[in-house]
Amino acid sequence: MKNWWAKLAPFKGRVVVATKFGFDIDLETGKRSGALNTRADHIKAVAEASLKRLQVDSIDLFYQHRVDPNVPIEDVAGAVKELIEAGKVKHFGLSEPGAQTIRRAPAVQPVTAVQSEYSLFYRGAEADILPTVEELGIGFVPFSPLGAGFLTGKINENTRFDSSDFRSMVPRFSPEPIKANMALVEVLREVAAAKGATPAQIALSWLLARNPSIVPIPGTTKLHRLEENLGSLAVELTAGNLHAIEEATSKISLEGARLPETALKMTGR
């Protein structure tokens, strides 16, 4: 959708705006290149361009998209701190950082939220990211909470992705891993049938039951899917349900990497 950000104008003051910095981008269009760039001057330029495009007075949550190995996190946090002091940003966030970065950044500027992939389809955050944010009182925002659509049950080994769809490059979305990983969807379908819900709603309810500071961000372009996702708020998973899900999924060994190798190298720093 061309100039989609203009659609936010009528909702000024009624929505929370979160956006990111971290890559070299065209400041007019927002189109990014593959190169990381978190120099202080670039962060500030991106913030100004985002404010202009989004037609807002301040950015509620400004995430570093990926940790830049060439720029100390303290310098990044310092640049965001200046934006906060100027009233152009309200809160600082990190996306796909490692635990060591999460601990270092608050020495300069408190971190409000960490955004990383987390779902029943990928639970890597449980090793050290979740314990760290819980210890430090930082909110956790899981992206791909529906496993990039896999946990909805709408994908199978015969599904083919357009070349423009990032899943076409993801090992976990190749036919053989999809076929092997369908056992996870079957667990969700069983619980969903007992709850009068959908697999997607169970997947989101599972996340919401993990911790009150977890705020999943399922993406969709369809209104009926948005309504389905919101329906997860009415699904209550009991301790027995959660135990059954844990017991069943612990027996499943998922196949395929969650991202292409080049992208994986940019996470967890």
Q: Enumerate the domain spans of the chain.
A: 1-117, 146-269
Give the model's pLDDT for residue 41. 96
Average pLDDT over residues 149-173: 95
Q: Is the dihedral of CA 67, 71, 72, 75 positive or negative?
A: negative
Give the whole-angstrom CA distance, residue 236 versus residue 206: 9
Same fold, 1-117 and 146-269: yes
pLDDT of residue 53: 87
pLDDT surpasses 70 at 51 = yes
Per-residue pLDDT band at 4 (split at 50, 70, 90): low
Residue 5 confidence (pLDDT): 64
Q: How far apart are CA 248 and CA 61, in angstroms?
A: 37
What's the pLDDT score for residue 116? 97
CATH topology of domain 1-117: TIM Barrel (3.20.20)
Residue 75, H or E segment: helix 73-85
- Fold topology of 146-269: TIM Barrel (3.20.20)
pLDDT at 55 over 70: yes
pLDDT at 3: 66
Question: Contact, 206 vs 245, CB < 8 A?
Answer: yes
Whole-number pLDDT of residue 32: 79
Nearest to 95 by CA among 29, 18, 170, 160: 18
Interval 62-87: pLDDT, tens: 999 999 999 999 999 999 999 999 99
- Report the percentage of the chain scoring pLDDT > 70: 97
CA–CA gap between residue 198 and residue 235 (Å, rounded): 10
Split at pLDDT 50, 70, 90, the class of 2 is low
Whether the CB-CB separation of 171 and 257 falls below 8 Å is answered with yes
C-alpha to C-alpha distance for 236 and 202, rounded to whole angstroms: 9
Q: What is the pLDDT of residues 11-35, one digit of tens each?
A: 878 889 999 999 998 887 778 777 8
| Whole-number average pLDDT of the chain | 94
Beta bridge mates, 21: 64
Q: What is the pLDDT of residue 176?
A: 97
**What is the reported pLDDT for 6?**
66
pLDDT in tens, 174-218: 999 999 999 999 999 999 999 999 999 999 999 999 998 999 999
Q: What is the DSSP code string of 216-241?
A: -B---S-HHHHHHHHGGGG----HHH
Task: Kindly report, residue by residue over 124-154, the tens digit of the pLDDT.
Answer: 999 999 999 999 999 999 999 999 999 999 9
Mean pLDDT of 236-257: 97
